[in-house]
A and B are shown apart, each in its own frame.
Chain A
Amino acid sequence: MAVLSRIREVAVVRRGTTSDKILMGTMVVLSGLGLLMIYSATKNNGSFSMERQMIFVAAGVILYFVVSNIDYREYRGWVPIASGIILVLLVAVFAFDPIENVQRWIPLGFFNLQPAEFAKVVVIIALASLLAPPVRGEIERRQLTWVKIGQAILIVAIPGYLILKEPDLGTALVFGFVLYVMLFAAGGSWRQMSILGVGGVLAALAMWQFNFLEEYQKNRVLILFDPNVDPLGDGYNLIQSKLAIGSGQLFGRGLFAEGTQTSFEYVPEQETDFIFSAVGEQLGFIGAILVLIAFAIIIWRLLVIAVNARDRFGALIAVGIAAMVVFHVFVNIGMTVGIMPITGLPLPFLSQGGSFYMAMTLSLGIANSIWLLRTPVPGENQLT
Chain B
Amino acid sequence: MKFALRLTSLGVVFVTMFAIVGLRLWFVQVAEGPEFAEQAEELTWISKSSYAPRGDIYDSQGRQLVTSRLVPAVVVDRTFIQPEQRDDLIQNLSAIIGMDPDELDTLYEKAGTNGRFQVATVSADTSSRISERLDILPGVEVVDVPERVYLVGPTMAHVIGHLGLPDKSDTDARPELDPSVRIGKLGVERIYDEILEGTPGGIDYRVREGEIIDERPGTEPLAGSSIYLTLDLELQDLMEMAVEEGVALSNQVKDAERAAGEEIFNETTRGAAVVLDAKTFEVLGISSYPDFDPQLFVTGLDAAKFAELQDIQAFNNLAISGLYPPASTFKAITYTVKEEEDLPLPNPEEVEGIDIANQQVHCDGTLFLDANAEVGSGNKKTDWYNPRDLGWLDIHGALENSCNIFFWNVALGTWREFQNTPRENVIQDWAKALGYGSTTGIDLTGEAAGIVPTRELFEEWKLFQLDNPDLPPRLEPTRLELDSPWLGGDLLDFAIGQGAFVATPLQVAVSYAALANGGTVIEPRVVKAIQAPGGTPEPIESGQVRHVEISEATRQALLQDLNRVVTTGTASTAFVDFGPGLDQVGGKTGTGQAGRNKDNHAWFVAVAPIDDPQYVVVVLIDEGGAGSRVAAPVARHILQYLMGNEPTPIVAGADAD
Contact = CB atoms under 8 A, between A and B. Distances in A.
B11 interface: yes
A246 B14 contact: no
A45 B210 CA distance: 12
B29 A245 contact: yes
Contacts of B10: 181, 184-185, 303, 319, 322-323
B301 interface: no
Contacts of B25: 245, 280, 285, 288-289, 292, 333, 337
A245 B3 contact: no
Nearest to B114: A264
A44 B83 CA distance: 9
Interface in A280-325: 280, 284-285, 288-289, 292, 295-296, 299-300, 303, 306-307, 312, 315, 319, 322-323
A249 interface: yes
B24 interface: yes
Contact of A244 (B14, B30, B40): B40
A46 B17 contact: no
Interface in A245-297: 245-250, 258-261, 263-266, 280, 284-285, 288-289, 292, 295-296
A249 B30 contact: yes
A265 B29 CA distance: 19
A292 B33 contact: no
B29 A288 contact: yes
A280 B29 CA distance: 8
A329 interface: yes
B30 A265 contact: no
A265 B3 CA distance: 47
Contact of B7 (A47, A307, A333): A307
A46 B85 CA distance: 10
Interface string B74-115: 000000001110000000000000000000000000000110
Question: Chain B contact residues: over half helix, strand or loop, or mixed?
Answer: helix
A245 B34 CA distance: 11
B43 A243 contact: yes
A306 B22 CA distance: 26
Nearest to B210: A44
A45 B86 CA distance: 12
A339 B24 contact: yes
Contact of B33 (A45, A250, A261, A265): A250
Contacts of A258: 208, 213
Given A181-B10, A247-B33, A259-B44, A242 B28 contact: yes
A337 B4 CA distance: 33
Contacts, number: 137
A351 interface: no
A212 interface: no
B39 interface: yes
A303 B11 contact: yes
A261 B11 CA distance: 35
B21 A333 contact: yes
B3 A243 contact: no
Given A185-B10, A319-B10, A245 B28 contact: yes
A379 interface: yes
B35 interface: yes
A171 interface: no
A330 interface: yes
Given A185-B7, A303-B7, A319-B10, A285 B213 contact: no
Given A289-B22, A337-B28, A249 B37 contact: yes
A247 B32 CA distance: 9
A242 B28 CA distance: 7
A289 B209 CA distance: 31
Interface in B55-87: 82-84
Contacts of A312: 3
A259 B17 contact: no
Contact of A307 (B4, B37, B213, B214): B4
Interface string A218-254: 0000000000000000000000001111111110000
Contact of A330 (B2, B17, B40): B17
Contacts of A265: 113
Given A45-B83, A46-B84, A334-B24, A300 B11 contact: yes
B7 A247 contact: no
B26 A285 contact: yes
Given A243-B40, A382-B2, A284 B29 contact: yes
A337 B20 CA distance: 11
Contact of B213 (A243, A259, A315, A322): A259
A330 B83 contact: no
A242 to B, nearest CB: 6
A266 B6 CA distance: 44
Contact of A246 (B3, B6, B28): B28
A362 interface: no
Nearest to B84: A46
A326 interface: yes
A381 interface: yes
Interface residues of B, number: 43
B14 A322 contact: yes
B206 interface: yes
Nearest to B11: A303
A359 to B, nearest CB: 20
Nearest to A316: B3
B7 A246 contact: no
A289 B21 CA distance: 9
Given A185-B3, A280-B25, A295 B82 contact: no
Given A245-B29, A246-B32, A337 B21 contact: yes
B26 to A, nearest CB: 6
A250 B28 CA distance: 10
B14, B29, B30: most-surrounded residue (chain A CB, <10 A): B29
Nearest to A250: B30
A322 B11 CA distance: 10
A289 B14 CA distance: 15
Contacts of A45: 83
A249 B29 contact: yes
B15 interface: yes
A204 B430 CA distance: 70
A326 B11 CA distance: 10
A292 B18 contact: yes
B14, B15, B22, B213: most-surrounded residue (chain A CB, <10 A): B14
A306 B7 contact: yes
Contacts of B389: none
B210 to A, nearest CB: 10
Contacts of B7: 185, 303, 306-307, 319
A259 B208 contact: yes
Contacts of A245: 25, 28-29, 36
Interface in B198-249: 206, 208-209, 213-214
Nearest to B41: A247
Contacts of A299: 11, 14
A337 B24 contact: yes
Contact of B40 (A261, A323, A334): A261
B1, B7, B11, B209: most-surrounded residue (chain A CB, <10 A): B7
Contact of A46 (B1, B32, B37, B83): B83
Nearest to A264: B44
A85 to B, nearest CB: 30
Given A259-B44, A379-B4, A382-B3, 20 more contacts: A45-B83, A181-B10, A242-B36, A245-B36, A247-B36, A247-B40, A247-B41, A249-B30, A261-B44, A264-B114, A266-B43, A285-B30, A292-B18, A292-B25, A296-B15, A299-B14, A329-B18, A330-B17, A334-B20, A334-B21
Considering the complex of A and B, which 9 residue pairs feature the smallest CB-CB distances, nearest first? A246-B36, A249-B33, A247-B37, A247-B40, A285-B29, A382-B3, A243-B40, A46-B83, A330-B17
28 contacts: A44-B209, A45-B83, A184-B10, A185-B10, A243-B36, A244-B40, A246-B28, A246-B29, A246-B32, A247-B37, A247-B39, A247-B40, A250-B33, A258-B208, A264-B43, A266-B44, A280-B28, A285-B25, A285-B29, A288-B25, A288-B29, A289-B25, A292-B22, A326-B14, A326-B17, A330-B17, A330-B20, A337-B21
